[in-house]
């Protein structure tokens, strides 16, 4: 159950790392991103596709570039991450709670 969450968090981390690279280096291509992050080309390509579907980046002849939506997403990101961390914290089961068999 937690394994899936961990995989999703890892994927989100990769998507955000790719987005950050686009923001800082636009336009930027797959090969450069792959070389700098160490992620295989197919994983970078997948992250770019996800980001494009979310309208956070768009392709250009020189590589990926940001969109009008990118800054709004970045501005809201920290708050959304904080809310998610809080929600996960509320899900804790105290170690003091004993499980009865």
Per-residue confidence (pLDDT) for residue 98, from 0 to 100: 66
Task: State the pTM of this model.
Answer: 0.87
Is a pLDDT exceeding 70 seen at residue 96?
no
Which tokens belong to 55? 């309208």
Per-residue confidence (pLDDT) for residue 94, from 0 to 100: 78
Domains and CATH numbers, the chain: 1-82 (1.10.10.10)
- Calculate the dihedral angle through the C-alpha atoms of 47, 48, 54, 56, rounding to the nearest 10 degrees: 120
Give yes or no for a contact between 67 and 58, defined as CB atoms under 8 angstroms apart: yes
In order of 56, 63, 70, 83, 96, the CA distances from 67 in angstroms are: 6, 13, 5, 25, 49
Tens digits of per-residue pLDDT, 33-87? Answer: 999 999 999 999 999 999 999 999 999 999 999 999 999 999 999 999 999 999 9
Tokens 């792959």: give the residue.
34
């Amino acid at each position: 159950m937690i394994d899936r969450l961990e995989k999703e968090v890892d994927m989100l981390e990769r998507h955000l790392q790719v987005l950050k690279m686009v923001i800082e280096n636009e336009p930027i291509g797959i090969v450069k991103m792959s070389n700098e992050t160490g992620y295989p080309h197919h994983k970078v390509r997948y992250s770019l596709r996800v980001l494009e579907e979310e309208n956070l980046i768009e392709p250009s002849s020189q590589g990926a570039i940001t969109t009008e939506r990118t800054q709004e997403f970045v501005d809201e990101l920290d708050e959304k991450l904080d809310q998610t961390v809080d929600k996960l914290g509320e899900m804790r089961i105290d170690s003091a709670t004993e499980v009865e068999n």
